[in-house]
Structure 1
Amino acid sequence: MAEKITKRHADPALAEARRGQILIAAADCFRRKGYHGAGMAEISKTAEMSAGHIYNYFASKEAIIEAIIERDMEEMFSIFQQFEDHPDDLVSVMTEGADEGVEHSMDKEQGALQLEMLAEAARNPKVAFLLQQSDTHARDKMRRLLTGERSLIKDVTDKELDGRINVLFAMFGGLLLRTTLYPELQKDTILLALKPALRTLLMPF
């Protein structure tokens, strides 16, 4: 079946508000029902608008997933930008910023949605591509940050830098699984071990 074409909207602010309303509703449905269990009827009911109205903003469920991924990526990039703009040394800035990263990674609602998208990626090549593309952009952004003048590891080899970036991402990404398997896990406990490990990765060996 051909995808429906989303319409142009005369009021950009209203359109953005409607898109946000749909994304919040869809994320809630995906968490509760799973990607396949949450049809457009369920999403429209949660968003309190007709399915036809939703199609004015998103051509398909995959388009909604894509927008959720883009939103999450923009949030991540805003954190990277804060690191870049802060005048203090990069190691201190990123270590202190770990608090926000850990809190986000241990958010149960966000984690449930992320797990559902990862599960769908195992079945759906398009969703897998979108998540992989988001990860590539995030790694590229981190690479630019760690090769900048304020970085203490700007001169390491590309292979070593790639390894450090992937370990950094694995540390935060793995908290999603730890929180799911160990619900009593506390942020303060994680930060006691994570901050020294983060400093090690951001400094020459």
Structure 2
Amino acid sequence: MARVSQEHLDARRRQILDGAALCFARNGFHATSMQDVLKEVDLSAGAVYRYFSGKDELIGAIVTEALETVGEVFNGAARETPPPLPDVLMPRVLAEMRERRPLLLEGGEWMFPRLLVQVWTETLRNEQLAALLGPGFDRIRDAWREVAESYRRAGLLSEDVDADTLARVMVAVVQGFAVQTALFGDIPEETLRAGLRALMSLGGSQLG
């Protein structure tokens, strides 16, 4: 019997995760059954259960992957010296997230913001997800703190500005933009860029 390649196994796992993510983004975690996932990915139960024991494990894998995606994008930005200013950096972060997770729902809506909102909502009642989300958020906040410190080293940020405070606000901007996109439809990244530029122009200063 021919051995199944690791590439094939990885592709099948990707197929299952993508199909499940679309189901969860579309209908939420509770309204989605494993039968819905099987129908979405067009695979037998045996093929899916070879990779995931059930819906809870699928949810955990999707949440972990979503956090890793966001964290990797922010960490990449933190390594630039100096990082681009927020009006450039934030839209670019969202654009890179779109490139990495380009799945679309019916009608062409980007799936990822809806999935994030579902994750945040489920975390309020699911202790296991909360245990995943907490450290993931901390890693993203750490990356933004490093961005803030890079601004400071470049003379762009006042010494009296708390880096963690700025980090939390920058994370909140991305979260808020994701919520608006999920609730009201796709919003051009140029809207975020223009809005940040407007905020940065207040008082005649950019970051300090």
Could you tell me which residue of structure 1 aligns to residue 8 of structure 2? Answer: 14
Could you say which residue in structure 1 is the equivalent of 2:42? Answer: 48
Distance 1:50-1:152 versus aligned 2 partners, 3 A rule: farther
Mapped to 1, the partners of 2:200 and 2:61 lie a distance apart of 30
Is 1:126 paired with 2:105? no
Equivalent position to 1:65, from 59, 62, 72 = 59
The Cα RMSD (Å) is: 3.3
Contact 2:25 2:111 in 1 (8 A): yes
State the Cα distance separating 1:171 from its structure 2 match.
1.0
Which region of structure 1 is more displaced relative to structure 2, 162-171 or 49-58?
Answer: 49-58
From the superposition, tell whether residues 203 and 178 of structure 1 become closer, same or farther in structure 2 (CA, over 3 Å): same
Cross-structure match for 1:5: none
Quote the Cα distance in structure 2 between the aligned partners of 1:27 and 1:43.
9
Q: Cα–Cα, structure 1 residues 150 and 58, in superposed 2: closer, same or farther, change >3 Å? A: farther
CA distance in 1, matches of 2:23, 2:169: 32
CA distance in 1, matches of 2:200, 2:60: 30
Which runs of 5 or more residues in structure 1 are unaligned?
A: 1-8
Q: Distance in 1 between matches of 2:139 and 2:191?
A: 30
5 Å-filtered alignment, 1:1-205, equals 11-86=5-80, 89-92=82-85, 95-103=87-95, 108-148=110-150, 152=155, 156=159, 160-183=162-185, 185-197=187-199, 205=208
SS of alignment partner, residue 49 of structure 1: coil
Aligned residue identity for 2:134: Q
Percent identity over the alignment is: 24
